[in-house]
Amino acid sequence: MSKYNFVRVGAAVPKLKVANVDYNVDEIIELVKEADEKDVAILTFPELSITGYTCADLFFQKKLITDVQNGLKKLIEATRDLDTLYAVGAPIVFNDVLYNCAVVIHKGEIQGIQPKVFLPNYDEFYDKRWFTSGKDHINKISYIQMFGETIPFGNLIYTSERLGYKLGIEVCEDLWAPIPPSSNKVLEGANIIINLSASSELIGKINYRRNLIKTQSARCICAYIYASAGVHESTTDLVFGGYSGIYENGKLLKENNRFDRENNIIISDIDIDILTHDRIKNKTFADNKEMDSGNSDDATWFIEHAKEYEINTKTLVRNINKTPFVPRDNADMTERCEEIFNIQVAGLAKRLEHTGEKKVVLGLSGGSDSTLAALVCKKTFDLLGLDSKNIITITMPGFGTSKRTYDNTFKLANELGITIKEIDIKDACLQHFKDIGHDISIKDVTYENVQARERTQILMDLSNKEKGPVIGTGDLSELALGWCTYNGDHMSMYAVNCSIPKTLVKYLIKWYAINIGAEKVLFDILDTPISPELLPLDDKGNITQSTEDLIGPYEVHDFYLYHFIRYGMEPEKLLMLVVKAFDNEYTKEQLKNWLKVFIKRFFNNQFKRSCMPDGPKVGSICLSPRGDWRMPSDADYTSWIGNID
């Protein structure tokens, strides 16, 4: 197994001449050699790739079947010294029955043969005219004699203890069945499924096909590698586009360009750790596995790979998104932002309906978090038909408040048509310093937190006075890092941003600005440096306290947060991935130091999360102690940072 538990897989679509086995085998050999040179451990070809899917009644010709046998022998000899395990499609006669099969080959040996189970016989498909279903071989393993060898025939799971994969196979229509064979295979332990397919092209079919593969890989918590017949199949009545795609637990890792007229191969690295983590965590998967155990008889066939397959930052073939909370596609971004915003609004609306309160109280700082909270409040009041003037925002200038943020609070309130009040906290804080005997010249955590708690006290008291809840503004990133003052900005009656990470906050505000309004002030707020503004300004009135200068960039911490919580990822592997994601932006030493900061702060600040306010969950990462994240407040982080290098 590689150090970081990745398995490199590929899907290949070769050039083809229908019924010309010798030509087709030569093309397959070239692609297997290319895959082996690129350290691909598992490679799949399309359905009936040795002959072509569209041979029709030629499948009854003994000449074609003989050519297939010779072609397989040629494949075996040509790839005897290659370590890539690959599957090709071929018609195989077994006990005087013709099957549409996947033939698995590794290091010059046929490891097993699996017949297609579900044969389409509708519309343009006539598989049953030529082939027999492999349904009788689902619950048993038979053996076929080929080339002087005894080869297993039926359901097999190909297992490599060295690389950590368990491979299951299905053929084209098998995936379209109500209960695909792959569903049973994953319950028997398979974590990678390959599909040898011949899927013709129709208007809109590409999206249906993508969604089908994506959904199956998500339901089965597996990797799914799909390769379909290409443009060189017969076009008498149909056109084949040669689609191939590599999916992992519902996510597309790689796909090719259809209608390619040359040999093409796509490659990506599958993260076995991610699949294992989610299967362990998902008790529905475990229960289903227990309930259905024994319903199929997938025999285990062990594969001995010779290569080391060492995958690291430099060799990893996988696109690592440095902002995993943020969709890459603009269309997806718009849809995602609207969905998130609606969830936030629906959560707050329900809380106000339940309490019967017609007002809310909100601290408005001129920063992005409180801005997003104000936008959510505005939309909620519009939804409920409440007067926006009952959104009571308070700006509370302190020792570090800048003119820019101060002015933007009023501009935003005016744009939204909400109430804004100003309460200067400096005198109250000076009195408090005097009361507790704190030297004002010492700008320490006491100096900062006095201001944060003074603001919260004002908000809480106004909440009683106005009979409306305090709306929390803190975000998910701050909760993870504990970058909030305990019983200060940490506390509210309802926290609308509690599962929104910092990297996503700005996109939500940008989406609101473009699609709803207040564009000028919102873009200026987005351009403002992130700061709690608790330390005095410099001589020119500029902010001196930058959060990211103190703890590291939020884009990096959000990367850590996502992988640490979503996948339970080990720090060593997390460091490898973050170096890959932020290549040339930060040094490895910087990223390592920030990772240590993240881990220490995450562990040491669990006590704040253990008593966090209610708030809506909007994504897969949430730190509510009542839901997604339950952790002792006094857990020790030592072993998590001990092996980071």
CA 224 to chain CA centroid, nearest Å: 15
Say which of 27, 101, 116, 377 is annotated catalytic: 116
Q: Which amino acid type is present at position 15?
A: K
- The Cα 13–Cα 10 span in angstroms is 10
Of the candidates 433, 451, 446, 537, which has an alpha carbon nearest to the alpha carbon of residue 489?
451
Per the CB < 8 A criterion, the answer to whether 269 and 223 are in contact is no
Q: Is 338 one of the catalytic residues?
A: no
Map tokens 């500029």 to a residue: 542
Q: Long-range contacts for 522-529 (Cβ within 8 Å, ≥24 apart)?
A: 522/371, 522/412, 524/404, 524/408, 525/366, 525/367, 525/368, 525/371, 525/408, 525/412, 526/368, 528/366, 528/367, 528/368, 528/404, 528/405, 528/408
3-state helix, strand, coil in the chain (%, to 5): 40, 20, 40
Per the CB < 8 A criterion, the answer to whether 201 and 240 are in contact is yes
Map tokens 């994240």 to a residue: 629
Say which of 172, 337, 377, 622 is annotated catalytic: 172
Say which of 15, 27, 47, 359 is annotated catalytic: 47
Map tokens 């890459």 to a residue: 328
- The Cα 480–Cα 501 span in angstroms is 9
- The Cα 289–Cα 184 span in angstroms is 9
Residue 7, strand partner residues:
270
Q: Is 116 one of the catalytic residues?
A: yes
Question: What are the tokens at 452?
Answer: 């944060």
Q: Is 588 one of the catalytic residues?
A: no
335: Cβ–Cβ under 8 A, 6 or more apart, which residues? none
Residues annotated as catalytic are 47, 116, 172
